[in-house]
Amino acid sequence: MSPFPIRTLFAAFALTAGAGSTAAYAQSSASPKASADVKAAVAAPGRTPANVARDKYRHPAETLSFFGVNGGQTIVEYFPAGGWYMEILAPLTAKGGGTYYGVQPAGRYRDAAQKTVDSNPALSGKVKLVELADVPAGSADTVLTFRNVHNMVMGGNAPSVFSEFFRMLKPGGVLGIVDHRLPEGRDVALEKSSGYLKVSTVRKLAEDAGFVLDASSEVNANPKDTADWPKGVWTLPPTLREGDTDREKYLAIGESDRMTLRFRKPAA
């Protein structure tokens, strides 16, 4: 039997208990089985082998299915950077008749994303790299961001970015978020330095922008991660910022414990 229903019901309690002023209850649900088009995109031979090796930590097929992604959608990914999910999403939408926007502000990460597109035949002609303001209002079915909200919080621009997410989504559209999870009882100041965020913090950002929490999943949970490492989340793989110090220990823990939250823009 799949472990997701029990774990996800626990997540529903944690979300409700930790939300503070954001007290509206959201019914959580188990991750559905991956659709055929999502599974095919994850299994595509055009993916970088080093990216495929991280599937055991990032669970792309299950995660995208939980967010309701399919190839016919207009999908916006905020900050694709090196293109880990872009390698899956861009070919998926190209084959399904949808559109993929990679929102990547100008700078070195934009250059890295462009280099990824230019060097991968599976992405050529399938990616629109744009600024936030370039995505038309009310045009997106799904907006996704993976392990980026902590950077917004540390940079101080999270509220404005969430407002842009709300603007670009169609009524009823989905905002899908995966990020490193900080236990609710920890000092909130750690969110400015550790790379981890409380679920309640992410939930408040989304709800302040107008979103409603639709569901949560534990598909990207890692109970081995205690979120109290000497160099924050970057102590763990894939960064391994401690170098050879305790390397095997951190490799045995694996990648971070992550929240997986699905928000929805109200239909009316």
- Residue 28's pLDDT is 53
Over range 195-213, report the average pLDDT.
98
Asked whether the predicted pLDDT for residue 11 surpasses 80, the reply is no
Q: What are the distances in angstroms from CA 261 to CA 82, 177, 213, 228?
A: 22, 5, 8, 22
90-127 pLDDT tens trace: 999 999 999 999 999 888 888 888 888 988 888 888 99
The reported pLDDT for the residue numbered 120 is 86
pLDDT digits (tens, 9 = 90+) for 26-75: 545 555 678 899 999 999 998 999 999 999 999 999 999 999 999 999 99
Radius of gyration in angstroms for the set of CA atoms belonging to the chain, rounded to a whole number: 18
Query: pLDDT band at 19, cuts 50/70/90?
Result: very low
- Average pLDDT on 219-240 reads 98
User: CA-CA distance, 31 to 46, in Å (whole number)?
Assistant: 26
Q: How many CA atoms lie within 13 A of 222 on its CB side?
A: 26
Cα-to-chain-centroid distance, residue 136: 21
Using 50, 70 and 90 to split pLDDT, how confident is the model at 82?
confident
Kindly list the structural domains of the chain, giving each domain's residue range(s) and its CATH number in brackets, ordered by start: 4-222+256-264 (3.40.50.150)
What is the average per-residue pLDDT within 76-83?
Answer: 93
